């Protein structure tokens, strides 16, 4: 893929395959309506229980092809040691200023893995810094208009969900492109879901969130801002 083309939506995550798990269907939906998308993985996967950084890079590229993103890149932040430092913020700022997204998708701000929660704060602060003209990274300032948080694994009520029903199979294919992570193997067998259960579990989660909005499959998101409605008669999702 070309180096840093612009995109309307940029999904930022700690690890290769995080995006596929939490908002892969949403990226597929955006692609289907002509909205350009991109992915930034903050780490390269060198500390994972399964697979190597090189294997995960190849799998991430294969998955990106399925998702239809215009660009996917990975930073050199140490896997398992994502820290909210000014240096790391600037690395993300450089990508934001080159990709210039209107919308940024971040991980939810709390969770089991410290890399995920730190990536959420790190990404938010980078979005702010990216708009400061006096911070020079070699690219003009850019601040995204909207930040939303992928909340699939958070025990919170979503602000909204995205209908991914037509894209559920491709979403699964994108996730399963990570053979080093999800194929049955002895390494990490006590930590990872057996391969034969992944489809059932991921489809069940998407079905749950779809049911909340009256569709078959959906992915949940949280926004921190109050929503704005222009026309009460056009609000989706039936009340009764």
Q: What is the CATH number of the domain that holds 44?
A: 3.40.50.10320
- Asked if residue 1 belongs to a domain, the reply is no
Kindly state the DSSP code that residue 16 receives in the 8-state scheme.
T
Residues of the chain with pLDDT under 70: 1-4, 47-51, 183-192
- Asked if residue 2 belongs to a domain, the reply is no
Maximum C-alpha span of the chain: 55
Map residue 171 onto helix, strand or coil. helix
Q: Which two tokens stand for residue 102?
A: 């209107």
Give the pLDDT confidence score for residue 22 in this predicted structure: 96
Q: Which two tokens stand for residue 20?
A: 């596929």
Tell me the backbone φ, ψ of residue 68, rounded to 5 degrees: 80, 25
* Sign, CA torsion 158/163/165/167: negative
- Asked if residue 60 belongs to a domain, the reply is yes
Give the pLDDT confidence score for residue 49 in this predicted structure: 66
pLDDT digit string (tens) for 8-34?
999 999 999 999 999 999 999 999 999
pTM: 0.93
- Asked if residue 177 belongs to a domain, the reply is yes
Give the chain's domain count: 1
Give the pLDDT confidence score for residue 158 in this predicted structure: 97
Could you tell me which residues come within 8 angstroms of residue 126 by beta carbon, excluding any fewer than 6 positions away? 89, 90, 92, 93, 96
Could you tell me which residues come within 8 angstroms of residue 123 by beta carbon, excluding any fewer than 6 positions away? 12, 92, 104, 106, 107, 147
- Asked if residue 149 belongs to a domain, the reply is yes
- Asked if residue 240 belongs to a domain, the reply is no
- Asked if residue 239 belongs to a domain, the reply is no
- Asked if residue 4 belongs to a domain, the reply is no
Give the pLDDT confidence score for residue 111 in this predicted structure: 83
**Domain region containing 160:** 9-234
């Amino acid at each position: 893929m070309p180096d840093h083309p612009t995109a309307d939506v940029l999904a930022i995550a700690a690890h290769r395959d995080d995006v596929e798990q939490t908002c892969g269907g949403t990226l597929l939906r955006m692609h289907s309506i002509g909205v350009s998308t991109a992915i930034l993985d903050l780490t390269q996967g060198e500390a994972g229980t399964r697979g190597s950084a090189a294997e995960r890079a190849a799998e991430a590229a294969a998955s990106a092809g399925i998702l239809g993103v215009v660009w996917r890149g990975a930073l050199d932040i140490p896997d398992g040691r994502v820290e909210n430092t000014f240096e790391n913020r600037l690395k993300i700022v450089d990508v934001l200023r080159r990709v210039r997204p209107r919308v940024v998708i971040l991980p939810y701000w709390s969770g089991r893995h410290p890399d995920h929660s730190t990536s959420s704060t790190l990404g938010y602060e980078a979005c702010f810094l990216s708009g400061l003209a006096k911070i020079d990274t070699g690219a003009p300032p850019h601040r995204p208009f909207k930040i939303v948080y992928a909340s699939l694994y958070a025990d919170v009520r979503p602000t909204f969900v995205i209908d991914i029903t037509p894209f559920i199979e491709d979403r699964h294919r994108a996730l399963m492109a990570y053979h080093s992570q999800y194929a049955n193997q002895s390494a990490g067998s006590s930590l990872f879901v057996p391969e034969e259960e992944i489809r059932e579990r991921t489809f069940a989660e998407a079905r749950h969130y779809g049911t909340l909005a009256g569709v078959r499959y959906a992915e949940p998101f949280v926004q921190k801002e109050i929503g704005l409605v222009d026309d009460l008669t056009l609000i989706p999702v039936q009340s009764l």
